[in-house]
Amino acid sequence: MEKLKLTGSGSRAFGPARLYWREGAPLRISLTYRGAYGLGERFDALNQKGRRAVCEVEEKFCFQGGKTYCPAPFFWTDSGFGLYADTCESTAFDFREDEIIAELPKNCVITLFSGTPESMIAEYLSLLGSPILPPDWAFGPWISANRWSSQADVENAVAEAERLGFPVSALVIEAWSDEATFYIWRGAKYTPKPDGAPLSLEDFDFSDSPWPDPAGMIRRLHEKGIRVLLWQAPVYKALGPDEPANEQHRLDCADAVRRGLCVHNADGSPYTIPEGHWFPGSMIPDFTNPETRRVWLGKRRYLLEMGIDGFKTDGGEFIYSDDVRFFDGSTGREGKNRYARDYAEAYASVLGPEQALFSRAGFAGQHRTPLLWAGDQQSVNSEFRSALTAGLSAACSGIAFWGFDIAGFAGPLPTPDLYRRATQLACFCPVMQWHSEPDGGQFRELMPGAEGNNERSPWNMERAYALPGFAEEMRFWHELRVKLLPYLLKTARECAAENRPMLRPLVYYWPGDARAADCADEFLLGRDILVAPLLEENAARRRVYLPEGEWRDFFTGEAHVGPAELVCPCEGRLPVFARACFELKGTV
């Protein structure tokens, strides 16, 4: 690992590559390589060779393509070269046949790596700080649905899960707040407080509201072993003409403007999210300002005192101008990518080791504020495939703890086949979670969703498709997840201690094996479990490549020796293999 500041003109050899740079021109890297990996959470391809990747945080509702919520200016090749650009400004990397062109800001400092994928990722993580280990409960099965808009909805969902024997370790509530402040339970009565003063739990009367006893609800969920996360977005929301007035929200916005707690334009006026984007017209908090952090998080502290176990920190991709100004003197040019990281770090600063975030956006260093999820996907097969790609590329970028919405969360309900395949994949990912948008769709004018109950729970899928036994079939994978917990927790601790991702594409261990380097649809969960997701609709069989070593079928125990290519009959179940040293007894 070696740092290099790109000033003036020069060239030098490093590992298998030679670098050429001159002022005013992109960095040119000459090397032979088969694949380039990393660059954050990429939805378009695991191997970026032949593509131009832009490292810029972008919000995209479904079908992300070349856009990403969580970029990182870090990549490595199978031939043993890696690079990290130490900048928050937008960068771009063009991966050509025997050359890589890096578009970097002037005088950029880069760090070069040479070695195996395993060693280069570990060195990169050591540079930014080792991954933070999430609490144990984060590795059990999660449930979530935006349609839960009352305490009764949540308690009914949990009761149904219990009745059907589904284990639940975490529950995410999205539609809990007043949709204005995003920190007050909807329907609560209270006296608004001016000048940024926080409300305390004693200030609220919840009795005549959709959430009559949120603290009691949380306590009872905890007694069942279920942790609770609440949804958040970093906005001072611009209320629409059809939305009810909210005096506390008005006071908060006025206080933010008066005291400079929000991001500003160059002329000193508050910056607002442009039309055509999520939350248009809304101001956003400036987390580079210590006072903003104190006030913003102080208003949410009573939620933690109620027993909330973390936050689903949605959004954060809200900087659309290079000219905006932050409290610390930086501009939108530097802040566009950094904002999502600052947002997550602010929330993480008030959480303890038994609490967690579940974030959509991020930047280099996201592994210090786990967890990350893949954002918005529609419930179609192409989106399922792109979610797998995103998870593996995130892993190649050092993001250890990641998950996705099982079979997508937007649009009509997934087919039973897609739901089955996605549940099976999620069972072997760091986070296993199903989630769904509001009934009828979150953005109906863009993408209509399912009318009626569109909850992506296994039992609602059974009801919607009139498939007796479907929920029981899905319960097998939730129960298997619980059986895997000892292995998952052991692997997670090793990831934090040894700077590793939990998901590991085959190239991570076998960069010299061309078939492994080219394999974008298999991975190892930790060191010992190889997973081959079913990516084709109604697949009857799946071709699987087993790298060098001794392997056993995870479900039958049948032995295999790699390297070998198998054609595995699926029979409604994805192929999974374990190293011969892995103890299968008691798992399946």
The residues annotated with a catalytic role in the active site are 314, 317, 376
CB 20 within 8 A of CB 30: yes
Instruction: Provide the β-strand partners of residue 232.
Output: 313
User: Which helix (H) or strand (E) segment is 458 a member of?
Assistant: helix 458-465
Give Cβ neighbours of residue 242 (< 8 Å, ≥ 6 apart): none
171: left (phi over 0), alpha (psi -120 to 50) or beta: beta
Q: Residues near 43 by Cβ (< 8 Å), separated by ≥ 6?
A: 64, 65, 66, 67, 68, 374, 386, 387, 389, 390
Cβ density class 460-484: b for 16+ within 10 Å, e for less = bbbebeeeeebbebbbebbebbeeb
Whole-number Å distance between alpha carbons of 67 and 69? 7
Place of tokens 């593509």: 51
Q: Let me know if 407 is exposed, middle or buried by CB neighbors in 10 A (0-12, 13-18, 19+).
A: buried
Question: Please, what's the b/e burial string for 80-104 (b: 16 or more CB within 10 A of its CB; e: otherwise)?
Answer: bbbbbbbbbbbbbbbbeeeebebbb
Q: How many CB atoms lie within 10 A of CB 485?
A: 15
Q: Which two tokens stand for residue 317?
A: 């991709």
Interatomic CA distance for residues 561 and 581, integer angstroms: 13
Q: At what angle do helices 470-498 and 458-465 cross, to 10 degrees?
A: 150
Distance CA 51, CA 95 (A): 6
Pairing state between β 99-103 and 541-553? unpaired
